[in-house]
Amino acid sequence: MDFKIAVLAGDGIGPEISVQGVNVMSAVCEKFGHKVNYEYAICGADAIDKVGDPFPEETYQVCKNADAILFAAVGDPKFDNDPTAKVRPEQGLLAMRKKLGLFANIRPVQTFKCLIHKSPLRAELVENADFLCIRELTGGMYFGEKYQDNDKAYDTNMYTRPEIERILKVSFEYAMKRGKHLTVVDKANVLASSRLWRQIAQEMAPSYPEVTTDYMFVDNAAMRMIQEPTFFDVMVTENTFGDILTDEGSVISGSMGLLPSASTGESTPVFEPIHGSWPQAKGLNIANPLAQILSVAMLFEHFNCIAEGALIRKAVDASLDANVRTPEIQVEGGAKYGTKEVGEWVVDYIQNA
């Protein structure tokens, strides 16, 4: 198979982890006889500094013409600390999702046996936790009508039936592939938009009779994720709730540096780590590249290259078991490995497998 991959390294630790993701993809393609071509493009604060736009037209064209996008991170403190900034790096991420029609964000939450002690939750709660958070990405308050003056501000949380139906269809289909359990998260006791979500989910559920469908208010879901994370199989929710819940879910594993994600929809899919740009670590060779590497596994699996994805996951598990880890998850007294060294170890494992 031939792959044409757009590589968006972005800001902060993005360029460092991006290199490791590309190296792993190249190693897997070589091993399985695939051809891969990379095209690099700018985004985020880097693109603002260079051309004044966090997602310039040239980058959009590169992404639109690719088979998949391997994305790293955007964000920079000089924009975070300036509430008057008219252009922000994160606007580039929103623009990419909107222009490419990437309405479904897929975030797996899983635990690694050798790292359960790193979770802030008790081991007996998180052991065997393994679920998907599916977040609607292109609707709701983030994209609705907005207004702000010195005395009043509002954001409009609007959803249409087609927007809700398409994300629920994705969620039911993922549930069919997994444990056949779907939890629809909303705030239907208060919000009209949530009541429409629940109404449409109830209409669609009979078409998936094998799936057990339940409904949970978002505040209850936030508690349940901490009290009983193993309850969930597939969770689906709207944009704002999903933004919060997916970050909550990410800490269950013990490190945000371990969790990848995919954003899919009408055009080129994006595969990225969930952890952000961590600008304080920029250039220090301490960022964990495993989430970026596992994003490559999700990329292969998206194209039904199951063995390729499985090999990457096996290599990541092996690196953790061998204590080849970046500082935030290294065992006490363990050898020091940086971003580059962890990536190289994974590549060597793949080449020698």
Q: Provide φ and ψ at 139, rounded to 5°.
A: -125, -165
Return the bridge partners of 175, or none.
none
What residue has token string 């879901």? Answer: 221
- The residue from 142, 159, 208, 215 that is catalytic is 142
Q: Are 293 and 349 in contact (CB under 8 A)?
A: no
Give ∠ CA 272-273-279 in degrees, rounded to 5. Answer: 115
Helix (H) or strand (E) holding 210: none
- The residue from 219, 321, 336, 348 that is catalytic is 219
What lies within 8 Å, CB to CB, of 113 at 6+ separation is 127
What residue has token string 């940086």? Answer: 338
Burial zone of 86 (CB within 10 Å; 0-12 exposed, 13-18 middle, 19+ buried): exposed
3-state secondary structure of 315: helix
Helix (H) or strand (E) holding 276: none
- The residue from 247, 282, 317, 340 that is catalytic is 247
What lies within 8 Å, CB to CB, of 74 at 6+ separation is 10, 11, 14, 43, 44, 45, 54, 89, 90, 92, 93, 277
Task: Give the length of the chain.
Answer: 353
- What b-and-e string marks burial along 3-24, b requiring 16 or more CB atoms within 10 Å of the CB? bebbbbbbbbbbbbbbbbbbbb
Torsion of CA 246, 127, 132, 241, to 10 degrees: -30
Concerning whether 219 is annotated as a catalytic residue, the answer is yes
- The residue from 76, 159, 174, 187 that is catalytic is 187
Concerning whether 187 is annotated as a catalytic residue, the answer is yes
Concerning whether 118 is annotated as a catalytic residue, the answer is no
- The residue from 243, 282, 314, 340 that is catalytic is 243
From 34, 48, 43, select the one nearest 63 (Cα to Cα): 43
Catalytically active residues, by annotation: 142, 187, 219, 243, 247
